[in-house]
Amino acid sequence: MSRMAKIFFSRNPYNSKRADNAFLDAVQENVRFQAAHCPVYARILENCGFSPDELKNEADLYRIPPLPTLHFKRNSLFSVPESEFALVATSSGTKGAKSTVAFDKKTLFYGFGMATRFFLHHHVVSLLPTNYIVLGYEPSKHTSIGAVKTAYGVTKFAPALSRTYALKDTGKGYEPNQIGMLEALERYAKQGFPVRFVGFPSYLYFLVSELKKNGVHYQLNPHSKILLGGGWKQFAGNEIDRNELYELVYETLGIKQAHCHEFFSAAEHPLPYCKCKNGHFHIPVYSRVIIRDAITLEPVADGMPGLLNFVTPLVNSMPLVSVMTDDIAVKRPAEDCGCGNPKPFFDLLGRANVKDVKTCAAGANERLTGGGI
């Protein structure tokens, strides 16, 4: 079995010695491949004075120069020819700044295998026919946003009877579909099949708030689920505590908190993370997390906040082996959680100030490229 298969085909995404033993070699192999097939990335490594030979153990992973997500919003870095692109997506972005990512068949092969096992572990995969309310955009030829593709992909984990979207494609753009959602929900409740709500937590909040305001209370099929991701973004001012949100969900939809799941991912790091019952994102065997000081980019100790840096060997088609987001996070050991998951976890504290992110990313970019890119 190859190193990649040992990592991404692990039955338990949080407990596999075989995956842990293969991780460092797979990362080292990925860095070498990217440097050999992406001249810009090779120049970045050279400017930083980094060689894959420096990776003697996992404590050395921080040495890999982390590419800020902002770098991918300004530059196109690919390690395979365009003819090998099997899937192209963009980040949701804000204010027009978007990353374009492309994945080849090798990346998708291991990615789909990983995702299937991950969602099986979290009891998301089901054979029960299901109605979906997608709390986001309807798929369209007019958009390549990764979150749209992801939400649609999640509707494949249980056979879809019907899908209703919060934002409907008109052919000329998107428009809110609140009335359509409310009508679909009433119809789904009468049908009696499980209902899954997939997408942005802010949209779920608006939906259940409207139900409560109108005195509407459903008792949906007990196999119904809430599957959230993407954060509150432009609706951050409306954000409420997750427990308060899930109380509203139970009050209006009859879905228990045990069936509410919150996920995290990014276009530049297309791996899923799921909050445990205590509200923490534990780090699976196919990823490592480094928290970096926003000024020096040096790793900080557990419990200290900093910029979130992911390391994974998954992506073959782009140099995404070490990506630094503009999320502020803190990492802690597993024993600080108590849920029973043996892996360390991270908590998101928010986004770095936009000005600070640009300054930090520009500084990192300067150091990575020597000012030449």
Supply the pLDDT for residue 96.
57
The string of pLDDT tens digits covering residues 256-271 is: 999 999 999 998 999 9
Supply the pLDDT for residue 366.
55
Q: HSE-up of 160 (CA within 13 Å, CB side)?
A: 16
Beta strands in 119-244 (DSSP E): 130-137, 160-169, 174-176, 195-199, 225-228
The string of pLDDT tens digits covering residues 286-303 is: 999 999 999 999 999 999
Q: At 126, is the pLDDT very low, low, confident or very high (cuts 50, 70, 90)?
A: very high
Mean pLDDT of 214-228: 97
Quick check: do 3-99+286-369 and 123-264 share a fold? yes
Supply the pLDDT for residue 314.
98
**Contact at 8 Å (CB) between 288 and 321?**
no
Mean pLDDT of 168-182: 89
> Nearest to residue 113, comparing CAs of 226, 225, 271, 264?
271
Mean pLDDT of 121-128: 96
Instruction: Name which of 218-227, 292-301, 360-369 the model is least confident about.
Output: 360-369
- What is the chain's mean pLDDT, rounded? 91
Mean pLDDT of 194-205: 96
Mean pLDDT of 19-37: 97
Find residue 315's DSSP bridge partners.
none
Supply the pLDDT for residue 353.
66
Supply the pLDDT for residue 134.
96
Supply the pLDDT for residue 368.
54
Confidence check: pLDDT of 371 > 60: no
Confidence check: pLDDT of 361 > 50: no
**123-264: CATH, from 1.20.120, 2.60.40, 1.10.760, 3.40.50:** 3.40.50
> Nearest to residue 307, comparing CAs of 331, 287, 291?
291
Confidence check: pLDDT of 88 > 60: yes
Give CA–CA dist 325/350, Å, rounded: 11
What kind of architecture, by CATH, is found in domain 3-99+286-369?
3-Layer(aba) Sandwich (3.40)
More reliable by pLDDT, 146 or 136:
136
Q: At 360, is the pLDDT very low, low, confident or very high (cuts 50, 70, 90)?
A: very low
Q: Which of 82-91, 224-233, 299-308 has the highest average model confidence (pLDDT)?
A: 299-308
Give CA–CA dist 152/229, Å, rounded: 13
Mean pLDDT of 134-150: 81
Residue by residue, DSSP assigns 245-275 as HHHHHHHHH---GGGEEEEEEETTEEEEEEB
Domain assignments of the chain as residue spans, ordered by start: 3-99+286-369, 123-264
